[in-house]
């Protein structure tokens, strides 16, 4: 069974679930959690526990994969909770899902970290240092009190490179850009990574941004994700 964790507003999540063979993938959202997800988990015996999703009992040990498109749940998603309690319920559910996803011994796109339900949730300052250490050119960056204040330069060529497992999901990617992306993917040890590069006047590529959260809005990405799990 594959768990797809997303936001109820992301219609592509349901599309992704439908791409898997019938009955082999389910969607979990915070907005429907109280109706669709029931569980009793022994922390000392997680794999012996069961989850009921959409009235179907699933042994935790039968969960073979997780695709997660949200770094955390937001208070606003818990519309069915009294507004005064939403913050608490949201914090509790995030804490529970972090534990559950961390302990599941299956393929995860992306694996959670202690600060994020998907991927490492590293600040720009942290991945800039990692990339610089790896001799990957990074686009100049200035941040003041948490806000990027770089002057945007118009007409720069942008190149987005996404990798799912071993598969690049964009055609005609310059080899340098593909190599940089694969190196970062290896260093962060993640199956999914999307890197945005900019190209200067003399054709040199610089890393401008990284996303660790699977983007399922394009058909090619969804197919690559499907291939990764099947």
Partner 1 sequence: MILLYGLIEDTPLTMVHEKLEKAGADFLFLDHRKIFDYDIEYAFSNEGGSKCIIQINGARLDLDDINVAYLRPYNFMDYPQMEGKNVDDRLALKASGFELQLMAWFDSSDALVINKSAPSASNNSKPYQLSLLSKAGFKVPSTYISNDKDLVKTFLRKNVDTVYKSISGVRSIVHKVSDEHLEFIDDVQWCPTLFQKVIDGTNYRAHVFNNQIFAVRIETDRLDYRYGKTSMVPEDLPYDVAQKCHKINEMLGLHFSGIDLMRTKDDEWYCFEVNPSPGYSYFELNGGQPISTALARFLMDADH
**Which residues are at the interface with partner 1 (CB under 8 A)?**
34, 37-44, 52, 80-81, 85, 88-89, 91-96, 98-99, 102-103, 113-115, 122-126, 128-129, 132, 137-138, 140-147, 206
**Which is closer to partner 1, CB of 38 or CB of 223?**
38
List phi, psi (to 5°) of 35.
Answer: -95, -35
CB of 19 to partner 1, least distance (A): 29
**Which is closer to partner 1, CB of 129 or CB of 186?**
129
**Which is closer to partner 1, CB of 50 or CB of 223?**
50
Query: How many CB atoms are located within 10 Å of the residue 136 CB?
Result: 21
CB of 177 to partner 1, least distance (A): 16
List phi, psi (to 5°) of 13.
Answer: -65, -45
**Which is closer to partner 1, CB of 52 or CB of 59?**
52
Q: Which residues pair with 197 in a beta bridge?
A: 159, 207
Rounded to the nearest angstrom, the gap between the alpha carbon of residue 123 and the centroid of all alpha carbons in its chain is 15
**Which is closer to partner 1, CB of 64 or CB of 113?**
113
CB of 132 to partner 1, least distance (A): 6
CB of 136 to partner 1, least distance (A): 10
CB of 130 to partner 1, least distance (A): 8
**Which is closer to partner 1, CB of 125 or CB of 189?**
125
**Which is closer to partner 1, CB of 16 or CB of 128?**
128
List phi, psi (to 5°) of 198.
Answer: -120, 150
CB of 98 to partner 1, least distance (A): 5
DSSP code, position 45: G
- Which distant-in-sequence residues (6+ apart) come within 8 Å of 220 by Cβ? 169, 170
Residue 46 has, within 13 A of its CA and on its CB side, a CA count of: 11
Do 224 and 171 touch, CB atoms closer than 8 A?
no
End-to-end CA distance of the chain: 11
Do 141 and 208 touch, CB atoms closer than 8 A?
no
CB of 182 to partner 1, least distance (A): 20
Calculate Rg over the CA atoms of the chain.
19
């Amino acid at each position: 069974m594959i768990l797809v964790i997303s936001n109820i507003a992301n219609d592509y999540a349901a599309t992704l679930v439908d791409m898997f063979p019938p009955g082999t993938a389910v969607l979990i959202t915070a907005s429907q959690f109280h109706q669709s997800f029931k569980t009793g988990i022994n922390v000392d015996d997680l794999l012996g526990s069961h989850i009921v999703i959409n009235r179907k009992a699933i042994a935790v040990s039968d969960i073979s994969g997780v695709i997660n498109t949200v770094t955390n749940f937001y208070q606003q998603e818990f519309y069915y909770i009294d507004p005064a309690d939403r913050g608490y319920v949201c914090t509790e559910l995030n804490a529970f899902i972090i534990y559950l996803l961390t302990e599941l011994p299956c393929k995860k796109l992306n694996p959670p970290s202690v600060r994020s339900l998907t991927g490492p949730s590293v600040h720009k300052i942290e991945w800039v240092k990692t990339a610089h250490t790896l001799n990957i050119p990074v686009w100049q960056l200035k941040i003041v009190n948490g806000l990027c204040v770089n002057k945007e330069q118009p007409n720069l060529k942008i190149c987005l490179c996404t990798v799912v497992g071993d598969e690049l999901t964009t055609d005609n990617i310059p080899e340098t850009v593909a190599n940089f992306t694969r190196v970062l993917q290896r260093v962060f040890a993640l199956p999914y990574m999307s890197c945005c590069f900019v190209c200067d006047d003399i054709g040199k590529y610089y890393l401008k941004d990284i996303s660790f959260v699977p983007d399922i809005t394009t058909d090619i990405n969804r197919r690559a994700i499907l291939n990764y799990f099947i």
